[in-house]
Amino acid sequence: MTTTITKQFHVDHPVEETWANLTDPNKVVVCVPGASLTGQVDDNNYKGEVEMKFGPVKAKYDGLVTFLERDSATKKMKLKGVGTDSKGKGGAEMVMDGVLTEKDGGTDVNVTMEVNISGMLAQFGSRLINDVSNQVIDQFINNFKNQLAGKEVEGNLNAGSLMGGMVKGLFGGSKKA
Amino acid sequence: MIQCKTSKAIGGMGHSLKRKEDDRFIQGKGNYVDDIKLPGMLYMDIVRSPYAYAKILKIDSEAAMKVPGVVAVITGKDLAQYNLHWMPTLMSDTQMVLPTDTVMYQAQEVCAVIATSRYAARDGREAVRVEYEKMKPVIDPYKALDPGAPVLRTDKEGKKDNHIWNWKVGDKEKTDKVFETADVVVKQQMHIPRIHVASIETCGCVADYDKVKHHLTMYMTTQAPHAIRTVIALVAGHVGLSEERIRVVSPDIGGGFGGKVPVYPGYVIAIAVSFLVGKPVKWIEDRTENLQADSFARDYHITAEMAGTKDGKILATRFKVLADHGYTDASANPSKFNTGLFSIATGSYDYGTSFMEADAVYTNKPPGGVAYRCSFRVTEAVHAIERITDRFALAVGKDPAELRMQNFIKKEDFPWKSPTGWTYDSGDYHAGLQKAMDAIDYAGLRKEQAEKRKKGELMGIGISTFTEIVGAGPSKDFDILGIKMFDSAEIRVHPTGKAIARFGTKSQGQGHETTYAQIIAEELGIPAENIQIEEGDTDTAPYGLGTYASRSTPTAGAAAAVAARKLRDKARKIAAYLLEVSEDDLEWEPGKFSVKGAPEKSKTIQEIVFASYTNHPQGMEAGFEAVHYYDPPNLTFPSGAYICVVDVDKETGAINVRRFVAIDDCGHIINPMIVQGQVHGGLTQGIAPAMYEELIYDEDGNILNGTLMDYLVPTAVESPKWETGHTVTPSPHHPIGAKGVGESPTVGAPPAIANAIVDALSPYGITHLDIPITPFKVWKALQEKGVK
C-alpha cells in the first residue's frame, strides 16, 4: 500500500539556514511527529524509532534513516526511512525528496513523500493512510517552521486531533457540504 | 403439489417437521468445539506473517517464553525434526504446516505459542519477535505467468514458472469451426471474485493425545470426519498415529459452507504438540485469522464466448479460465477434477458443442479454492453461462426470457448428454421459468420498465436459469485422495421400535437430524420423532466422505432409504411368520403389513421389530439392523429459474433489490420448511458476492478488508424479501427421487442480480459489470458513459 504526498510551503528564513536544519538529522528527525533518533551508524545512516497511533492501533517502528542525497549546491536532498513494527506486525518505508529554492529572501520548500506500509497497519489503515500521512506531514511542516523560529516542537503525533479531524471529515463537520 | 405418503404422526417425506436439532440450539445447549474443555488442557495461538512474501531471518522467542503461562514456542524447524513441517493438500500439492525459511502469503502461520491459558497464549504471541527480509510478491495472476515473474514454489525441484496445471474439455476443432461461421458471436471477460465463507463459527480443534493408550482423539470443526481420520493416519502414520489409534469427533458446527473441508496447519500443529507433550491442546481461530488465512472460494478470471444464429439459437460456447490458487493448490475438488465441475458451464441450453480450457497459477495469496456452498466451481460456471447468455440475447435483440425458452433442453429430451460429457438426469426448465415469470408478472414488469425508461429512471430485470450438478459422486470418476465418494447409513432399531441411525456425513446446520429421520420414517413407518440421528464420530459412524457440495441427500440420504428398505424386506419376512401367511400375501402401508383382503390381520412395524428380538423365525438372524454404502450411479442435476428486479439510483448508484423470485427444482422434497430455509440462506449468500463481498489485496499482498468491518457480509437488513416456490422433477436414478438443494440458490442468485443491474444500465450502452456490483461501480460506469 503506497501513497505519495506532495507539499509546498514557505519559510521566512534564508535558504542556507533552512538547508542546514533540513539536512541535520538531529534537527529534522525530531520534527517528525513521534520520531526520535536512537543512534548513529555513520555519516549517512542513523537509527531511530517512530511511534504512532491510528485510533485503536498503536504502532512502534524501529528503523534506519538514510540520507541518499544531500547536495548543498542544488539544495536537493533525498531521505529514506525503513522501519519494522517492534511487535512484528508489519513495516513502513518512507522516501522523502526535498528541494529548496530562494523566494523573497525566504525559502520555498517542496517536499514529496512516498509512504509504503505493510502488514497489520496496511490492513487496518488502508482507508486512513492518506489522512494520516497528510496529518503527519502538516505537523512536520509546523514543527519545522517552529524550530526555525526558535519555538518548541510538538513531539507526538496528536492522535486525538487526528481521529477528531477524521470524524469531522466523515460527517462533514468541518467542511462545507 | 407436495404429496405425503405418511401420516403426520409418522412424519415421512413432505412434512414440514420442526427441526429436532433446534431444541438445543435455541436454548444455548449446542456443543461446539470451543465448548470442549478437558483437564490439563493447553491453549495454542499462532504468530502470523505480516508480509505476503518474505524470508524469515530469525524467530526470537525469548521474551515470549518469559510471559507467565507460556510453555513452548513451536517453529517449523521443530516440526521438521519429525518431518511434520509439510503436508499434502487434497489436490496432491504440498503446503507448509509451519515455515522453516520463507512465508508465502500474509497471515501465513509462522510459529505457534503454547500456554496454560488462552490469554497467556495471546500475550506470548505478541511477544515473539520475528525478523523478515521482505521480497516483492506476485499478486496479479496474469503477471504470475510473465516470463520474468519470480518463481514462487522454489521448494519444488525444477519448477521454472508459476503455472500449476492446464485443463481442457470438449471438442476444440468443432467448436472453433462453429464460431468461425456463426452469425453472431459475443465475448465477455469476467472475474468471479475471491470470497470467503465467513461462517459464524471459526475453525478450531482440541487435539487430545493419550500417551498411555497411544490414542488420539481429535475434536475439530470438520465437514468430513472420516476423511480427516484417514488423512491424519497418512500424514502422521510414520510417528505412530495409525488409523485405529485415531478418533475424530466433529461436534456441532456453526456453519461450514466448504470452509471446514480442508486441513489447516493449525489442526496439524495442535496434533503435533499434543502428541509431543501428552496433553490436550486447544486451538481456536479468531475472526480475522479465519477471514485472512483460511481457504478462499472462487477467484476465477473467465473469458466466456457464445456463438449463435441471428434469430437467437445458441450453437456453441467457449470458456477460458485463469484460476488464481494462491500459494498452493489446496482446492477441495474430487481428485480427477482440477476445475471441479466447471464443465457444467454449458448450462440449461440445447446445443451441440463447447470447448473449455483452464490454467491455474500460484500467487502470494492464501491457498484454497473451496466449494463454498457450491458443488466444486459450479458457481463460477453458472455465472459465466448466465451472463454470456444475457449478452447474446442483447446482441440478437431478444428478450432474455424468450431467448432462454427458445434454447432450453426439452423435458422429453432427458436424460440429456451435454457437450462436455455429463448426463443430465431430469429437468423441466420451461415449466420452471414459466412459473417464475407468472409469479413475478414478467410481462407487467417489462411494461413498467419501458415506461420508466422514458422518464429516465433505471429499473432492471434479471434472469438466471441454471442447472446444478451435485451429489458427488459415482465411484468410477469421483474420489478424494483415492477414497471413492460413496456415503453410508447404519440403522439400528431397538426392541421397542425406536431407532438410532448413524451416517458418514456431518451436518453443519443442514438439518440432517430431522431429514434423515424423515427418510427412514418414510420407508419404515417408524415415527421420525422416534429416530435418533448421529453423525460426526468416527468411532461410531460408518465410513463416509462427509457433507459438502449438496451431496448428503443424494448419497447418504439414498443410503438411508436403501438400508431402510433392507429392513422392510426383513420386516415382511417376520410379518409373514407372525401372521402365518406367505410374504406375497402381505401388503405394506407406512407403519404396518397387513394381509391382502383381510386388513384386520396386520402387524405394525413396532410389533415386527419386537418380534425380531423376542420371537424371530428360526434360521433368521436376530435383531433389526442394516447398513448400506451407497454408490450413486450418476450425479443429480437440480435446476432453478430465478428472476430479480432492481431499481438503480442514477445519481448515487445505489441498488435496491425490489423483488426476487426463486423457483427451485430439487426433485422430491423431504422437508419443505427446511428446503425453504436452505433457499433463504443460499439466496442471501448469493446476494453477497453479487453486491458486497470480495477479498481485496493491494499490490504488496496486503489484504485490505481482512475484518468484518470492511468485508461486507450481508445481514437481514440487506436481504430482500425472498419469494420462493418449486417445480418437482424427481431424479430418476435416486431411490427417493431427491436431488439436493443446499447450493442451488447460492449458485443461481448472483447472475440473476448481475443481469438485473446490467439490464437497468443497458440503455446507456453498459453491457457488463464484474461482481460485486457496488454503488460505486455503478456510479463510475454511469459517469464514464457521461450520465449525469
Chain B: give the shortest CA distance to residue A85, in Å: 10
B223 touches chain A (CB under 8 A): no
The model's pTM: 0.93
Whose cell is 439436493? That residue is: B740
| pLDDT (0 to 100) of residue A175 | 38
A88 touches chain B (CB under 8 A): yes
**Nearest Cα to A139, choosing from A65, A50, A32, A35?**
A32
**Nearest Cα to B773, choosing from B643, B656, B642, B641?**
B656
Chain B: give the shortest CA distance to residue A75, in Å: 33
What part of B 429-468 touches A (C-beta under 8 Å)? none
**Which of A123, A127, A128 is best to mutate for the B interface (most B CBs within 10 A)?**
A123
- The CA-atom distances, in angstroms, between B529 and each of B10, B441, B471, B518, B525 are 8, 41, 27, 9, 11
B703 touches chain A (CB under 8 A): yes
From B128, B129, B698, residue closest to A122, measured CB to CB = B698
Contact A122 B700 (CB under 8 A): yes
Tell me whether residue B60 is exposed, middle or buried, using C-beta atoms within 10 angstroms of its C-beta: 0 to 12, 13 to 18, 19 or more. Answer: middle
Architecture of domain B296-472+634-784: 2-Layer Sandwich (3.30)
Distance of CA B88 to the CA centre of its chain: 21
Which residues of B are marked as active site? 223, 373-374, 743
Chain A: give the shortest CA distance to residue B780, in Å: 19
A60 touches chain B (CB under 8 A): no
Long-range contact set of residues A168-175: C-beta below 8 Å, sequence gap at least 24: A169/A131
Could you state, in order of their start, the residue ranges of all structural domains in chain B? Answer: 22-30+487-630, 33-135+203-284, 296-472+634-784
Set out the domains of chain A in order of their start, with CATH numbers. Answer: 2-171 (3.30.530.20)
Exposure letters B728-759 (e unless 16+ CB within 10 A, then b): bbbbebbbbbbbbbbbbbbbbbbbbbbbbbbb
Residue B456: CB atoms within 10 A of its CB come to 9
Distance CA B514, CA A109 (A): 74
Distance CA A148, CA B96 (A): 55
Whether A125 has a pLDDT exceeding 90, the answer reads no
Q: Hey, is B388 helix, strand or coil?
A: helix
Amino acid at B778: V
| pLDDT (0 to 100) of residue A90 | 82
| pLDDT (0 to 100) of residue A161 | 47
- 10-residue mean pLDDT series, chain B (788 residues): 90 97 96 98 97 96 98 97 92 95 97 98 95 94 96 95 97 98 98 96 98 97 96 88 96 96 96 96 96 96 98 98 97 91 98 98 95 92 98 98 98 98 98 98 98 97 97 91 93 98 95 97 98 97 92 95 98 98 97 96 98 96 97 97 98 97 97 97 97 95 91 94 97 96 96 98 97 98 92
**Which of B103, B700, B708 is best to mutate for the A interface (most A CBs within 10 A)?**
B700
> Are B383 and B751 a contacting pair, CB within 8 Å?
yes
Distance of CA A60 to the CA centre of its chain: 15
Distance CA B511, CA B22 (A): 9
Residues of B in contact with A91 (CB under 8 A): 50-51, 134
**Which of A62, A121, A126 is best to mutate for the B interface (most B CBs within 10 A)?**
A126
Whose cell is 512536520? That residue is: A140
Contact A122 B702 (CB under 8 A): yes
Question: Residue A170's pLDDT band (boundaries 50, 70, 90)?
Answer: low
Whose cell is 436459469? That residue is: B465
CATH ID of B33-135+203-284, from 3.30.70.2190, 3.90.1170.50, 3.40.50.300, 3.40.50.1820: 3.90.1170.50
- The CA-atom distances, in angstroms, between B496 and each of A67, B9, B29, B560, B609 are 88, 17, 28, 20, 7
A58 touches chain B (CB under 8 A): no
Distance CA B671, CA B674 (A): 5
What angle do helix axes A15-22 and A129-148 make, rounded to 10 degrees?
120
**Nearest Cα to B327, choosing from B292, B289, B362, B368?**
B362
What was the ipTM of the complex prediction? 0.79
Residue A155: HSE in the Cβ half-sphere, 13 Å Cα cutoff: 4
Contact B706 A116 (CB under 8 A): no
A120 touches chain B (CB under 8 A): yes
Contact B698 A89 (CB under 8 A): no
Tell me whether residue B415 is exposed, middle or buried, using C-beta atoms within 10 angstroms of its C-beta: 0 to 12, 13 to 18, 19 or more. Answer: middle
Q: Residue B191 phi/psi, 5° resolution?
A: -120, 125
From B47, B126, B134, residue closest to A91, measured CB to CB = B134
Distance CA B70, CA B284 (A): 17
Whether cis (ω within 30° of 0) applies to the bond prior to B772 is: yes
Residue A169: enclosing H or E segment and its boundaries?
Answer: helix A159-171
Distance CA B308, CA B781 (A): 28
Q: B257-266: per-residue pLDDT in tens?
A: 999 999 999 9
Residues of B in contact with A119 (CB under 8 A): 50-51, 106, 702
Residues of A in contact with B702 (CB under 8 A): 1, 118-119, 122-123, 126
Amino acid at B472: A
Distance CA B262, CA B495 (A): 41
What part of B 18-77 touches A (C-beta under 8 Å)? 47, 50-52
Q: B11-42: per-residue pLDDT in tens?
A: 999 999 999 999 999 999 999 999 999 999 99
Q: Residue B450 phi/psi, 5° resolution?
A: -60, -40
Residues of B in contact with A124 (CB under 8 A): 707
Sheet (strand A45-54) strand order: A2-11, A106-119, A90-103, A76-85, A57-71, A45-54, A35-40
* Contacts (Cβ under 8 Å, ≥6 apart) of B741: B550, B553, B638, B664, B666, B675, B678, B679, B682
Residue B444: CB atoms within 10 A of its CB come to 9
Residues of B in contact with A122 (CB under 8 A): 698, 700, 702, 704
B704 touches chain A (CB under 8 A): yes
Q: B217-231: per-residue pLDDT in tens?
A: 999 999 999 999 999
Contact A118 B134 (CB under 8 A): yes
Contact A87 B706 (CB under 8 A): no
Distance CA B566, CA B64 (A): 60
**Nearest Cα to B337, choosing from B370, B369, B371, B376?**
B376
CATH ID of B22-30+487-630, from 3.40.190.10, 3.30.365.10, 3.40.50.720, 3.90.420.10: 3.30.365.10
Chain B: give the shortest CA distance to residue A86, in Å: 8
Contact A1 B106 (CB under 8 A): no
A4 touches chain B (CB under 8 A): no
Contact B50 A119 (CB under 8 A): yes
Q: A28-68: per-residue pLDDT in tens?
A: 888 888 888 899 999 999 999 888 776 666 778 888 989 99
Residue B163: enclosing H or E segment and its boundaries?
Answer: strand B163-170
Kind of pairing between the strands at B592-595 and B586-589: antiparallel
Same fold, B22-30+487-630 and B296-472+634-784: yes
Contact B704 A85 (CB under 8 A): no
- The CA-atom distances, in angstroms, between B193 and each of B238, B383, B704, B728, B755 are 40, 11, 14, 33, 16
Contact A1 B698 (CB under 8 A): yes
B419 grid coordinates: 457437450
Question: Residue A174's pLDDT band (boundaries 50, 70, 90)?
Answer: very low
B570 grid coordinates: 426383513
| pLDDT (0 to 100) of residue B239 | 86
Distance CA B537, CA B553 (A): 19
Whether A177 has a pLDDT exceeding 50, the answer reads no
Chain B: give the shortest CA distance to residue A11, in Å: 37
Contact B130 A88 (CB under 8 A): yes
Amino acid at A152: E
A159 touches chain B (CB under 8 A): no
Over residues A3-19, mean pLDDT = 92
Residues of B in contact with A2 (CB under 8 A): 699-700
A124 touches chain B (CB under 8 A): yes
| pLDDT (0 to 100) of residue B414 | 98
